[in-house]
Structure 1
Amino acid sequence: MSNSYAQPIFRTTDLSAGLRVVERLLAIADLRELEIDYEAHVSSARTLTPLFELLPWATWYTEGDGDASSEAGDDPSAHLPIRFRACAEVPETVPVFLEALHDTPATVRWDFEGWPAAPEVGLGTGGSRGAFVTLCVNVRDLDLYEPATDHTVFVHVKQIEAERAPWLAAQVGLQVVGDLVTAPY
């Protein structure tokens, strides 16, 4: 699987405003095969418990010196902080996931079939390899390394279609607010 490239187009302290931007972007996307991926840097049982109640099949691992993981059958609550990940979820899980986070850094990524054609910038329909929207919650970056008190919406595109990101921002009345970056996984 190749990586997409992502560009931030909206930053806010109001999570519901971030979700509204995501909804506007999804309204112009080809949502066939829509799936949601989650990642969080969980450091408290207050967050861990509801996340695993919602997504009991999620995977996790420790970062740094530890080597505990769901694959090894370890107890995640005994190894906090952990990196929590759930993939291919249904959209209905998003509100409950967000409610469980509190101040936990996390990403919610909407993965779908493709972006619409962007004839103004010379691009046809964008395929699934670079068609995502990510909402970074309590964090500024897609890798969960820069905790923040705000939230950022990123659009993902193929590297050779970098001009699609500002075009997408313009379609929802916004403009890019940062550089194009390589997205994880």
Structure 2
Amino acid sequence: MSNSYAQPILRTGDLAEALRVVRQLLELVDTRSVEVDLEAVARTPAELARLADAVPEADWWARGSDRPGSSPEGGTAADHLPVFLSAWCRPIHMAEEFLAAAGSASAMVRWDLDGWPAAPEVRLGPGGTRGAYITLATHAHDLYLDEPADVHTVFVHVKQVEAERAPWLAAQVGLRVIGELVVAPL
């Protein structure tokens, strides 16, 4: 199994701006088969209720390695707050609905792409599905949702051997990379 590598290209307090950048990146690719993966950390009963309404089939786990409780084990998520929720391979239209439901909770949407376009300026042909993602982490600095924040972060994912594609992608939407290339959870 291979890893994805992600690099942040935008950090903003304005969710609409972050979504605008995501939409611009999506204009670079064929979106007919794009799916989204949805993840969030619910810390309060209100956050959990909103997220469960938005994605009722989401799996959940008690947040923290030393805390028992998960949907596969049975039980109720509300009895194990804070919980991590996850729903993968959802239709693209669910992204913004999910983010609206997340409100101020730390959440993540990852757009799973068929590949990036050719980047001739950095001598790269079209990319395949491996490493072709866009992630928006809301109310978080990081991909793991471990660092809650008042900002939203847009990441582009690339193959490690094609690291120069990340700054190229950022430039296509008028931005630049703003952090290190990091191993991304998949």
Structure 1: give runs of 5+ residues left out of the alignment.
none
Q: TM-score, structure 1 length as denominator?
A: 0.96
Q: CA deviation at 1:43?
A: 0.7
Match of 1:64 in 2: 65
Q: In structure 2, what is the Cα distance between the partners aligned to 1:161 and 1:31?
A: 22
Instruction: For 2:121, give the aligned amino acid.
Output: E
Please list the CA deviations of residues 74-128 of structure 1 after superposition, one character each: whole Å capped at 9, or x if unmatched.
Answer: 1001100011101011122122211122221111110010100001101000111
Q: Which moved more, 1:110-119 or 1:58-67?
A: 58-67
Please list the CA deviations of residues 120-147 of structure 1 after superposition, one character each: whole Å capped at 9, or x if unmatched.
Answer: 1010001111100000100000011111
Q: In structure 2, what is the Cα distance between the partners aligned to 1:71 and 1:4?
A: 27
Q: Which moved more, 1:18-27 or 1:39-48?
A: 39-48
Taking only aligned residues, the RMSD between alpha carbons, in angstroms, comes to: 1.0
Q: CA deviation at 1:8?
A: 0.4
Q: In structure 2, what is the Cα distance between the partners aligned to 1:7 and 1:29?
A: 18
Match of 1:168 in 2: 169
Percent of aligned pairs sharing the same letter: 53
Q: Which moved more, 1:27-36 or 1:121-130?
A: 27-36
**Deviating 4+ runs (over 3 angstroms):** none
| Kept after mapping to 2: 8 A contact 1:30/1:116 | no
| Kept after mapping to 2: 8 A contact 1:32/1:112 | no
| Kept after mapping to 1: 8 A contact 2:117/2:127 | yes
Match of 1:77 in 2: 78
Match of 1:107 in 2: 108
Residues matched between the structures, number:
185
| Kept after mapping to 1: 8 A contact 2:11/2:151 | yes
